[in-house]
Amino acid sequence: MRGVDSDNDSAFMNETMRAHCEEQRLEWTRSRAYKKNDRAWVEQKNGAVVRRLVGYRRLTGLGAAGTLVRLCASARLYINFFQPSFKLKSKQRVGAQALSRTAHAVSRLLASPAFDESVKEELRAQFATLDPVALLKSIRKAQHELATIIDHGLDSQPLANDDVAAFLKSLSTAWRAGEVRPTHRKKPTTPRSWRTRADPFGQSWTMVEGWLAEQPHCTAKELMKRLTLELPDLYPTAAKLRTLQRRVQSWRAEKARTLVLGAISIRSSQHGDRDRELSEMTTSLG
């Protein structure tokens, strides 16, 4: 490691980070503010690696932290040794088809003259001991544990099947069930019947309904203007106009629904009375 190029977050720009870089003799630089492309090669891995493995749901507690450490340990080996990175190795055209080959991170490191041969030998020996299927299985197991912790907030339960051969066989049909990463399961949602913030028109809606009853074609903008004049303490500006527009739209839809359904019920009752009269006349004639 030769240097650190961080963003402008206080998690990096602090005295602790400065002292660490001075102690390790690391070059410490920062990117320009509001220039996200300065860190494009780093930021792209947040989505392609981190979020793809862990998901976007909240993780809390020491149990989740330990599971996340095991997930990162397996993912580091699997991605660096077996997953191709976005660096073109060769390109070959076969007819109208272009075949591209990419190299993984370790192969590029082994081909680089900037590293000692002893380091390369250690990497080759480590590569010979790794099994990509076993690493992928450990990644899926850690994801399953994280998903269980997120959903239930309890200690995770291990996978029922711990056989690598059975896991390898299941990979050929895993795509049929959709997303195979357990951390990407969506939590079931239920309809919400409560408000999360105070109703901005809770004290004035009765007045607005009276105005709408008198002038049904009045627009929400005109109503908002009247509210700012009548209640300047509650509505000093027209900042709540969009909320009022939605409320007026819902009120009109409810009134129209009541009008239509009421006409239908009256019509059906009239038809019912007529049918009863016809049946009575038929009975008396018979």
Q: Are 178 and 217 in a shared domain?
A: no
The rounded distance, in Å, linking the Cα atoms of 125 and 129 is 7
Q: Are 142 and 242 in a shared domain?
A: no
Contact predicate 201/224, CB 8 Å = no
Q: Are 219 and 161 in a shared domain?
A: no
Burial class of residue 238, CB neighbours in 10 A (0-12, 13-18, 19+): middle
% of the chain surpassing 70 pLDDT: 75
> What is residue 155's predicted lDDT score, i.e. its pLDDT?
52
- Is 272 part of any domain? yes
Q: Are 214 and 264 in a shared domain?
A: yes
**Total number of domains constituting the chain:** 2
- Note down the domain range covering 262: 205-285
- Is 109 part of any domain? no
pLDDT of 41 > 70? The answer is no
Count of C-beta atoms within a 10 Å radius of residue 71: 21
Average pLDDT over residues 218-228: 92
Q: Are 215 and 142 in a shared domain?
A: no
pLDDT of 106 > 90? The answer is no
Q: Are 157 and 249 in a shared domain?
A: no
DSSP 112-158: -TTS-HHHHHHHHHHHHT--HHHHHHHHHHHHHHHHHHHHHSSPPPP
Average pLDDT over residues 102-114: 78
> What is residue 69's predicted lDDT score, i.e. its pLDDT?
93
pLDDT of 156 > 50? The answer is no
Pairing of strands 27-30, 84-94: unpaired
pLDDT of 146 > 80? The answer is yes
Q: What is the pLDDT of residues 42-99, one digit of tens each?
A: 677 777 788 888 888 888 888 889 999 999 999 999 988 888 776 666 677 777 777 7
Q: Are 79 and 173 in a shared domain?
A: yes
- Is 45 part of any domain? yes
Q: Are 46 and 168 in a shared domain?
A: yes
